[in-house]
Amino acid sequence: MSTVCPFCYSGQQEDHEHLWWVCPAWQDIRSRHPLATSGRSPSWPACFAICGLMPEGFDETQPGTSQPVPVQQIIDLTGEGNDERHITQLGMGGQLQEQWHEGRVVVCTDGASTNNQRAAIRRAGVGAFWGDGHPSNISEPLVGPAQTNQRAELSAVLRVLQVERRAVEIRSDSKYILDGCQLHLPRWRLNSWRSGRRPISNVDLWKQIDRVLSDRGNAMVSFKKVKGHASWRDVRSEKVSEEDKRGNDAADALAVAGARMHAISQERRQAVLRQSLLAQDVQQMMLEVLTARNVQPKAAEQLRREAISVSSSSGSSNSNSHTGGRCSSSSRNPSSSGDSDSSIRTNA
């Protein structure tokens, strides 16, 4: 941007503050966005006031919340103090419903999250399914401030490793989980928990999984990828077994139920919606101002070119007029010269 704003006569520097919020040249645009202009506040972080990017965790009603504080989630693996969160219903006749494969008990895990479009009210849940009515079945809300589906998936695996002390086969529809547990953990560990040059996400949970798997060994824990949200047509076409479909569906239902255990007040939902609408209005206003700013110099340049073209045409016309007069005069000279010569010859 130039030093002095070329679109108004205020003499002010054309910085972002002036462009978006002050310059009278764009007042008409700002008047069409009352939500943005009336909500303008000194408490806005620079990334929002200048670029229209509202940071995750920002709450204008609570100063100092523009930067979410990262909190490490630690899941207790001692097995103490967690049983109250299990679903403890027994199956018909009090018999446990379990599935076994190659000497391991099968447990299906899943994670779920709601309100995914708005991170401020997104809530995740953890699900693990041993069998219908099994006392170890898990359905609980994800703990910690980072409420994401991936963390819910990881937490479900950790909770199974916490509860199930027997040899276990964990079945999940998450490629993220299976690839991490079966392929990437040794490489991440050797590379100081980095993928390339970047730290891996959810490193606190991955480290705990790595520690437990190292302690228990491959003979005690195995993983299997299953198709998520499979249909009965998938079962009939043998893309997935009936047992895996039922197990994955049950784990998903437990995770969804866990996500719904989070309490979110109606006031909080409305506040998040207002912030979302505010961000959209600010971004739209900035886009319109920027478009108008780019169009105006082009329009002025076009007018300048048209003026030059008209001036050039006028000058060319005048030039041709003067030249025509000279040509007319010169055309008479030869005849005058000829008359003179004739007179001379006659006299001679």
Which percentage of the chain shows pLDDT scores above 70? 73
Q: Give the DSSP per-residue string, 6-61.
A: TTSSS--B--HHIIIII-GGGHHHHHT-HHHHHH--TTS-HHHHHH--PPTT--TT
Q: Are 172 and 155 in contact (CB under 8 A)?
A: no
Residue carrying the six token digits 């910085």: 15
User: Does the pLDDT of residue 79 top 90, yes or no?
Assistant: no
Q: Are 92 and 133 in contact (CB under 8 A)?
A: yes
Q: How many helices (H) and strands (E) does the chain have?
A: 11, 8
**Using one digit for the tens of pLDDT, what is the confidence trace for 290-323?**
999 888 776 555 655 665 676 666 655 555 555 5
For 242-324, strand residue ranges (E) read none
Closest CA to 157 of 219, 209, 217, 202: 209
294 burial (CB, 10 Å; 0-12 / 13-18 / 19+) is exposed
Q: Which domains does the chain carry?
A: 83-271 (3.30.420.10)
pLDDT at res. 8: 85
User: Does the pLDDT of residue 128 top 50, yes or no?
Assistant: yes
pLDDT at res. 308: 64
- Mean pLDDT of the 267-272 span: 77
For the ranges 91-100, 173-182, 329-338, the one whose mean pLDDT is highest: 173-182
Residue 76: phi and psi, rounded to 5, are -70, 120
- Mean pLDDT of the 127-143 span: 95
Centre a 10 Å sphere on the Cβ of residue 205 and count the other Cβ atoms it contains. Answer: 23
Quick one: CA torsion of 161, 163, 169, 172, rounded to 10 degrees?
-70
* pTM exceeds 0.85: no
**Using one digit for the tens of pLDDT, what is the confidence trace for 150-178?**
999 999 999 999 899 999 999 999 999 99
Q: Are 4 and 14 in contact (CB under 8 A)?
A: yes
pLDDT tier at 269 (50, 70, 90 boundaries)?
confident
Q: Are 225 and 169 in contact (CB under 8 A)?
A: no
